[in-house]
């Protein structure tokens, strides 16, 4: 193994080192932990000199130090295939100034959500990794989704040779448009399964399958190997770092900030991956001040940052921001590893406590490291009011998840009087949540369904209907399987037995 390679290890007990290709293929470590880079590389370029770089060149600059066992031409090829005409704006991730903040629009990909930013490249990284490792098995992508990952993963892996993708989603826990996007997905290798349960049930089921050595062995005998498209896969997480650098350089280029000036980032998040990518960007040397973690009424993360106690012992609340209706934030485990200074036994104990008792409390030393974050949450009514306020005051439409970010950003500024310039991550297009958005603006829209409101929204906002939304209602439903959470394994066996 080369001296200049960056290695990955599990957040839990195992000290075995893995190259990025190996970690991307495996998705999750054998001991149930998540792969973490053993060191975070520093950005070795003067930020001033990076101004004006397009998204693809910046992506290469950031990713090359994490994916060191990919050759330069291999990584460049993956990036070029990912960030192409499937994005409907030339700049890939526009930064829009409204209401005193900057909205980083990460929803211009084919499925209208921030997941496209990483799931456009993961299939190419995975396929290249399989070639490099001479894998002969078919790769089966197992994914749990709270609404957006599923469609973005299906879009990325559809008809990709050597792969199958199976997506589990909560049957009653996503928006009608999110559901229709998944159920109409074409592709000979795509399978979509609704489960009777919530996202945490789906996520737990998928993790248990990864951690079942007997089941995995049986599948390998049939020439299948499992991997993941969730942000538990390091190949999904690392590409998300890029857009935080991109936002900063955009502000620099516009003259909104000076080199070295710190900015805040507000991220609406349930699974913690999107804000962890910002933390990794900060660790690489990007000048970030506060990372503002915005929760909806499932405020388990907000409570954690305020108390140091992570407690999932509560009822899951179904909200208008369904992609954040999550009580177990899987990516937080990576951050625990970091703030425990790589003490895998400590992380393992905390995760066991969460599993067995439903909560854990970090040590006082770890709690001191929570200070770089601020946790807040938005009630349903606050999110609805902010959608209306932003639109009425500026003519700008935001989706319910971005609205949660906006509410928490405003609360943070009011409480702290911190005047640091702030980027709010706009995680999804308002077109994905037409009912919630339009009814927040006016009750007159209550008489229309999600699909009728697509045109109403386009007229109101003067925005074109995104290609992925056109005629969505009339597309044929191609996936019909619904199962109990206890049947996930048997459904996978059925699919792979054909």
Distances (CA, A) of 15 to 3, 30, 36, 37: 18, 11, 11, 12
DSSP codes joined into one string, 287-299: -EEEEEEEE-S--
| Burial (Cβ within 10 Å: 0-12, 13-18, ≥19) of residue 450 | buried
Tell me if residue 483 falls in helix, strand or coil. Answer: strand
From 51, 97, 98, 115, active-site residue: 115
Q: Is 115 a catalytic residue?
A: yes
**Which ranges in 224-343 belong to alpha helices (H)?**
234-254, 273-283, 300-307, 332-339
Tell me the Ramachandran region of residue 421: left when phi exceeds 0, alpha when psi lies from -120 to 50, beta otherwise.
beta
E strands within 312-380?
A: 359-361, 373-377
Question: In the β-sheet with 263-268, what is the strand arrangement from edge to edge?
Answer: 95-98, 101-105, 422-426, 263-268, 288-295, 373-377
Closest CA to 323 of 470, 185, 443, 425: 425
For tokens 């050597």, name the residue: 162
* Residue 427 CB partners (closer than 8 Å, separation 6+): 106, 107, 113, 114, 148, 268, 274, 323, 399, 401, 402, 405
Positions marked catalytic: 115
């Amino acid at each position: 193994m080369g001296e200049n390679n960056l290695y990955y290890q599990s957040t839990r007990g195992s000290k075995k080192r893995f190259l990025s290709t190996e970690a991307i293929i495996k998705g999750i470590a054998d001991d149930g932990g998540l792969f973490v880079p053993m060191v975070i590389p520093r950005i070795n370029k003067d930020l001033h000199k990076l101004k004006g770089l397009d998204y693809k060149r910046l992506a290469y600059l950031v990713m090359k130090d994490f994916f060191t066992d990919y050759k330069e031409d291999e990584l460049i090829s993956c990036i070029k295939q990912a960030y192409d005409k499937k994005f409907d704006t030339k700049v890939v991730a526009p930064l829009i100034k409204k209401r005193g903040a900057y909205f980083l629009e990460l929803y211009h990909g084919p499925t209208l959500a921030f997941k496209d930013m990483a799931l456009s490249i993961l299939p190419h990284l995975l396929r290249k990794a399989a070639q490099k490792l001479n894998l002969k098995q078919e790769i089966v992508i197992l994914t749990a989704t709270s609404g957006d990952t599923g469609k973005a993963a299906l879009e990325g892996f559809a008809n990709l040779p050597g792969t199958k993708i199976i997506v589990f989603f909560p049957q009653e826990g996503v928006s009608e448009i999110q559901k229709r996007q998944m159920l109409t997905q074409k592709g000979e290798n795509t399978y979509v399964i609704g489960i009777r349960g919530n996202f945490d049930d789906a996520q737990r089921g998928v993790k248990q399958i990864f951690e079942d050595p007997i089941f995995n062995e049986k599948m390998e005998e049939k020439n299948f190997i499992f991997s993941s498209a969730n942000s538990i896969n390091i190949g999904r997480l690392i590409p998300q770092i890029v857009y935080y650098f991109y936002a900063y350089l955009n502000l620099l280029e516009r003259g909104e900030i000076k080199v070295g000036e710190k900015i805040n980032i507000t991220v609406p998040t349930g699974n913690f991956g999107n804000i962890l990518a910002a933390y990794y960007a900060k660790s690489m040397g990007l000048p970030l001040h506060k990372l503002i973690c915005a929760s909806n009424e499932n405020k388990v993360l907000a409570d954690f940052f305020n108390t140091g106690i992570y407690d999932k012992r509560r009822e899951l609340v179904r909200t208008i921001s369904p992609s954040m209706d999550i009580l177990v934030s899987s990516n937080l485990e990576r951050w625990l590893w970091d703030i425990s200074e790589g003490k895998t036994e400590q992380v393992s104990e905390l995760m066991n406590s969460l599993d067995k008792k439903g909560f854990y409390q970090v040590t006082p030393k770890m709690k001191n490291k929570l200070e770089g974050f601020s946790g807040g949450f938005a009630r349903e009514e606050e999110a609805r009011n902010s959608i209306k306020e932003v639109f009425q005051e500026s003519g700008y439409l935001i989706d319910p998840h971005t609205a949660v970010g906006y509410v928490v950003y405003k609360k943070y500024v009011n409480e702290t009087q911190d005047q640091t310039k702030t980027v709010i991550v706009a995680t999804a297009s308002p077109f994905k949540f037409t009912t919630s958005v339009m009814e927040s603006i006016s009750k007159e829209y209550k008489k229309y369904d999600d699909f009728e409101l697509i045109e109403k929204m386009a007229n109101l906002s003067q925005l074109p209907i995104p290609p992925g939304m056109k005629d969505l209602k009339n597309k044929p439903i191609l996936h019909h399987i619904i199962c109990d959470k206890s049947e996930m394994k048997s459904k996978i066996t059925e699919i792979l037995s054909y």
